[in-house]
Amino acid sequence: MEILFVLVPVSLVIVMIALWAFVWSVNSRQYEDLDKEAERILFDENVNKKNPVREENA
């Protein structure tokens, strides 16, 4: 039963850290454009067409 006196404050601290991280990410516009990053993988903008980079050990 004494462990509750430790676990409850520790869990509240963890929740407050998670809440602070979420508020920080929203305020720093981390969630502003979610589709851009999802579509970025579909387009190769920086590939040199004359000399494409090839993996040696593939």
pLDDT tens across 21-40, in order?
A: 999 999 998 888 888 877 88
Residues 6+ apart with CB under 8 A from 47: 53
Residue 58 has pLDDT above 60, yes or no: no
pLDDT digits (tens, 9 = 90+) for 40-51: 888 876 655 566
Nearest to 30 by CA among 40, 42, 39, 21: 21
The model's pTM: 0.58
Distance CA 10, CA 18 (A): 12
Looking at residue 55, its pLDDT comes to 59
- Rounded distance, CA 44 to CA 40, Å? 8
Query: Which residues have CB under 8 Å from 45's CB, separation 6+?
Result: none
